[in-house]
Chains A and B, each alone.
Chain A
């Protein structure tokens, strides 16, 4: 399915921008003064519910995360605020990166299963039309 590849491409694009820090501000980190690195708000530019909701789900599945939520700041601006708070002293960047990787793995797996299923269906149809002929 092409959309699996699209989702993967978007996520890997985010990851490389985090590593390089270049690419026209795709991602920012905002931290309130006085707290340590376990509660952070990430601002993701050019993103919407498509990535926001699915990423929120993957990060919430991590037992170390105490709170995870996202909002769209305003419907005219295409950016989302994603906030992560972890239990204990785990830096918030870690569940963020883990969530992105896990989401990529999910999409890759869905793509593989879907392509296998389409291929099975086509083979079945071919063999069924052969047997009727």
Chain B
């Protein structure tokens, strides 16, 4: 009985011991365990696999994937970071730049601005093609000149009052449709994602006048093409109490974990600890610093339950 349980644990949990982590690698390949059939079975995979979206809004997404192996989950993570295409500014034609920001620094900053355009509607640019056609290029224009504000008070020192257009934001970028793009994309759909990103600062007499070409690319080529700010996953924590914990020790136990993980309930006058929500734990391993309690708790992670956050 104990042996069967130990085998199950080896197959399904990554155990965090006091000084090391055990059972890290995937071992369920055919032939390793005599009583299990581990050959690939698409139907069994489809039955066990599920995806639950926990939270989704415009800028972030959190979901769970259960029943898949680390190799494939990691492949998804790598592809998210490096191989999902987006549109970003690649070439900047500078007509006039008398600002304090150098041309190349300005071009670098412009390349990093996220552009709100669906890359699936565009093609990659052919190598060696300098002009760019309407199917693979988006054009933006940035023209800002800073002047002195004639209505400012004589002794004011606030730049917002003294100067007009002294901060260049992404909302000053205007889209210039090429060819039939004006018919395909309605007004206002092709723009930078955020319109309050500060690009440069100017003083009276300085001007920025440039034309930008955006192309489709992938993160492997340059990080500006990566569509995600971050994409990461962690395994679901699994905390088991090997012996019941009561009284003062229960209070101590609840302090060793993140808030909300351990719940102390009053049952028949005694305080009893119960693991309420292991998902919230960040595994700081504080429990191992407590001599009495470290033998009572086993920390582990469920091997095939991935919590994704992007």
Report A's interface with B, CB cutoff 8 A. 1-4, 6-7, 49-51, 53-54, 56-58, 60-63, 102-103, 105-106, 109-110, 113-114, 116-118, 120-122
Q: Indicate with 1 or 0, residue by residue over B66-105, a CB within 8 angstroms of chain A CB atoms.
A: 0011011011101110111000000000000000000000
Shortest beta-carbon distance, B240 to chain A, in Å? 28
Contact assessment for B49 and A63 in the assembled complex, using a CB-CB cutoff below 8 Å: no
Q: Which 6 A-B pairs have the closest CB atoms?
A: A3-B79, A61-B40, A57-B71, A63-B30, A121-B53, A54-B75
Contact assessment for A54 and B51 in the assembled complex, using a CB-CB cutoff below 8 Å: no
Shortest beta-carbon distance, A44 to chain B, in Å? 14
Contact assessment for A6 and B84 in the assembled complex, using a CB-CB cutoff below 8 Å: yes
Tell me which residues from 138 to 185 in chain B have a Cβ below 8 Å from any Cβ of chain A: none
* Total contacting residues, chain B, CB less than 8 A: 31
Counting CB contacts under 8 A, is B52 at the interface?
yes
Tell me which residues from 20 to 69 in chain B have a Cβ below 8 Å from any Cβ of chain A: 26, 29-31, 38-40, 42, 45-46, 49-53, 56, 63, 65, 68-69
Contact of B39 among A4, A61, A109 (CB under 8 A): A61
- Report the bound CA distance from A113 to B66 in whole Å: 11
Contact assessment for B79 and A6 in the assembled complex, using a CB-CB cutoff below 8 Å: yes
Contact of A50 among B39, B52, B65, B79 (CB under 8 A): B79
Contact assessment for B42 and A117 in the assembled complex, using a CB-CB cutoff below 8 Å: no
Contact assessment for B40 and A58 in the assembled complex, using a CB-CB cutoff below 8 Å: yes
Chain A residue nearest to B231 (CB atoms) is A3
Return 11 A-B CB contacts under 8 Å, by A number: A1-B76, A49-B78, A50-B75, A50-B83, A54-B72, A54-B74, A62-B30, A106-B45, A109-B42, A113-B50, A117-B53
Contact assessment for A121 and B56 in the assembled complex, using a CB-CB cutoff below 8 Å: yes
Contact assessment for A113 and B75 in the assembled complex, using a CB-CB cutoff below 8 Å: no
Contact of A61 among B29, B46, B52, B84 (CB under 8 A): B29
Contact assessment for B40 and A7 in the assembled complex, using a CB-CB cutoff below 8 Å: no
Chain B residue nearest to A115 (CB atoms) is B51
Contact assessment for A3 and B46 in the assembled complex, using a CB-CB cutoff below 8 Å: no
Contact of A109 among B31, B49, B75 (CB under 8 A): B49
Which residues from B are CB-within-8-Å of A2?
Answer: 84
Which residues from B are CB-within-8-Å of A114?
Answer: 51, 63
Which residues from B are CB-within-8-Å of A103?
Answer: 72
- Report the bound CA distance from A65 to B39 in whole Å: 11
Which residues from B are CB-within-8-Å of A3?
Answer: 76, 79-80, 83-84
Contact assessment for A110 and B75 in the assembled complex, using a CB-CB cutoff below 8 Å: no
Which residues from B are CB-within-8-Å of A1?
Answer: 76
- Report the bound CA distance from A50 to B83 in whole Å: 10
Contact assessment for A51 and B75 in the assembled complex, using a CB-CB cutoff below 8 Å: yes
Which residues from B are CB-within-8-Å of A6?
Answer: 79, 83-84
Contact of A105 among B42, B63, B75, B76 (CB under 8 A): B42
Chain A residue nearest to B83 (CB atoms) is A6
Shortest beta-carbon distance, B309 to chain A, in Å? 15
- Report the bound CA distance from A56 to B75 in whole Å: 12
A57-B79 contact, Cβ under 8 Å, with A2-B84, A102-B40, A121-B53: no
